[in-house]
Amino acid sequence: MTPQQKITQLLSQSESHTTRHNDVALSWQHWPGPDGERPLLLLHGGFGSWTHWIANIPVLQKHRSVWTVDLPGLGNSADMPQPHSVEHFSSILQKGLNDLIAPEADFDLCGFSFGALIGSHLAAAAGDRCRHFIVCGAAGFGKLHVQVDLLRPPKAETSAQESISITSSNLRTLMFAGDTAVDDLSIYIHGDNLALSRFNSRRLARGDDFLAALPRISAKLCGIWGDQDATAGGLEAIAEREVLFKRAQPEASFYVLPGVGHWAMYEDADNFNCIVEAQLLS
């Protein structure tokens, strides 16, 4: 099965939805799960789409109704209007989510990188409705965040072989700690997501908006970082993040995955899925 066929197959098992707020049409995907359980919303990273979660949705769906969304300016959602602020992203998402699961309904939230940054403000605004907030390689930690230099993305006229070479190199530099995770599927996902991207999230990612939201989050916190996350700044900087989590919530959970990079939920999907499943039961 080709990467495109794998994505199409998983997407065919979902229900597609569109919400419109602030002149932004958002593309949502829903994989129904067991009745009576809180829905789980997954927010992808910068320059990405719902496909960042392809290694996790089939497992998490066994326990929860899973929702994903393409963030504004990314994937199949409409462009992000001004202001390009974390608060504006969060507001658009919250209004769309309320259309889909009802304004009073509880939910759980899991965010990756830039999606974790946006999720921090969504979790804070939702208050007690957001019961768990699990983050993977979150951006928005100010001076702790490392901006990674990458090769220029392939252009339309770039040959297929050169495009694969560039994308593979960037995956090794930014997303993964090991070569084994650089497979046909990850190359396809990364390349396709970049081709669809119209919003550069780097300015927001290197800000401190996650830190600003942290004290206002009442959801149970859980942090997950790969110990070789290129954006994290090393083990000491990851440990500083854990201190910040514990300062906000002494009972917060924090996991550092050995031999794993930034896109931890793909590179170490089994461990990641187990952690998320256990957190949602806590």
Q: What is the largest CA-CA distance in the chain?
A: 52
Higher pLDDT, 282 or 198: 198
Mean pLDDT computed over 4-14: 97
Q: What is the distance between the terminal CA atoms of the chain, rounded to a whole angstrom?
A: 37
| Residue 157 DSSP SS3 | coil
pLDDT reported for residue 159: 87
Q: What is the pLDDT of residues 160-217, one digit of tens each?
A: 899 999 999 999 999 999 888 999 999 999 999 999 999 999 999 999 999 999 999 9
Task: Please report the pLDDT score of residue 42 as a whole number.
Answer: 98
137: DSSP letter: S
- Shortest CA distance to 226 belongs to which of 153, 136, 119? 136
Whole-angstrom Cα distance, residue 170 to residue 180? 14
Q: Is the pLDDT of residue 102 over 90?
A: no
pLDDT tens digit string along 236-266?
999 999 999 999 999 999 999 999 999 999 9
Q: What is the pLDDT of residue 103?
A: 87
The b-or-e profile of 215-252 (16+ CB within 10 A means b, else e) is eebebbbbbbbbbbbbbbbeeebbebbbebbeeebeeb
Determine the Cα–Cα distance for residues 115 and 73; give it in Å rounded to an integer: 13
The percent of the chain in helix, strand and coil, each rounded to the nearest 5, is 45, 15, 35
pLDDT the model gives residue 158 = 86
Summarize pLDDT for 119-148 with one digit per residue, the tens. Answer: 999 999 999 999 999 999 999 999 999 999
Mean pLDDT of 82-110: 95
User: Nearest to residue 43, comparing CAs of 61, 20, 66?
Assistant: 66
How high is the mean pLDDT of the chain?
96
pLDDT category at 154 given cuts 50, 70, 90 is confident
Q: 3-state SS string over 196-235?
A: HCCCCCHHHHCCCHHHHHHHHCCCEEEEEEECCCCCCCCH
**Mean pLDDT across the stretch 40-48?**
98
CA–CA dist 145, 229 (Å, integer): 10
HSE of 87, CA atoms in CB hemisphere, 13 A: 3
Q: What is the DSSP letter of 187?
A: H
List b or e across 82-103, with b for residues whose CB sees 16 or more CB atoms inside 10 angstroms. Answer: eeeebebbbbbbbbbbbbbbee
CA 227 to chain centre: 18
pLDDT at residue 85 greater than cutoff 90: yes
